Structure 1
Amino acid sequence: MNIAISLTGGKKVAATFPDGLQLVTDQPVEQGGEGSAPSPFACFLGAIGTCAGFYVLEFCTARNIPTAGISLDQTVEFEQDDQGKRRPSRVTITVNLPPSFPEKYRDAVVRAANLCTVKKALLTPPEFSLDFRVA
């Protein structure tokens, strides 16, 4: 998959996907941005929770379980690494279920959320390669 990344002005950076959809990021005002969009790192963290949410949605859809009242809460804990930079040390996701959610599926829906492919990519990270080209 090729994703085109463009610098769109100010502190904004956009990713354009092959299907034409675009993800725009910005930096918070205190870091020189306009705060008009999530930062790249916030998008990364949000991708973990939205991926888990997608698996919850698919689980419920496959079993005709209504999704009204279902939500997820994601908490990220940080620690400082050896260079003094903050890095996430723990991500906790809680699947909030309404009382009407079938009891027999409560543990299973959490297992479904745990199938998140974004989380799996973090557990087995890809190799990164950066280069330049003069165009």
Structure 2
Amino acid sequence: MDECWSQGKLESIGELVSDNCRIHDPVFPALTSGADNLKRHIGMCKKGFPDLKFSIDDTIAERNEVVHHWTAQGTHKAEFLGMQPTNRKATVTGTSIYRIEGGKIVEQWADWNLMSLMEQLGVSKAPAMEGQARDSAAKQSRA
């Protein structure tokens, strides 16, 4: 996954992630399934933080599950979750759990520290969740 997130090689996702992969991330409730949605999600994150880099701090693997504790760092250069660019550098940590079947990720759970990101970016109000940001932009364009 490092080459997808850090290097932006989104074509690798199809090799790693099942088309029917279920994805659980409370910050991105619209991100529910599939390699294509994950590509879109990574693209959105890389747009907001073009220099985004992930490092794996710890890995635990047992049976058909892999757990990564990770650190992500990047500079906020474009809108992300409705937050306008701040040009500030930010570092967040999180944990991802992957369930593997047939050599591909079929389910993923992610948990990371959104409040820490907001604090580092100097954002005081809660950002829009992924689906809410899109809905809000559509409403504004109709007004």
Shorter-chain TM-score above 0.5: no
Rg: which structure is higher? 1
Could you state the TM-score of these two structures normalised by the residue count of structure 2? 0.30
Could you state the TM-score of these two structures normalised by the residue count of structure 1? 0.31
Q: Which has the higher contact order (CA 8 A, sep 6+)?
A: 2
